[in-house]
Amino acid sequence: MDAQFSMDKEKLAFYALEEGEVDYSHIFSKPDKRVVNVLSTSKSVDEVMNIIPTTL
């Protein structure tokens, strides 16, 4: 982990290391409606993991 701050360049504490992980280069000003729906209606973490969208 490397949690440094920079005004000039993005510096993440953790980087996408696992296969299939994505670091989106833009900021989402509003949350994805599908993700909000899954998080709002799921009864457990296991349920979320089974139905959460894999792309935005």
Decide if 34 contacts 53 (C-beta within 8 A).
Answer: yes
Distance, CA of 44 to CA of 13 (rounded, Å): 28
pLDDT tens digit sequence for 1-56:
677 888 888 777 776 667 777 778 788 899 999 999 999 999 999 999 999 998 88
pTM of the full predicted structure?
0.57
pLDDT at site 4:
82
Q: How far is CA 8 from the centre of its chain?
A: 23
pLDDT at site 43:
96
pLDDT at site 16:
65
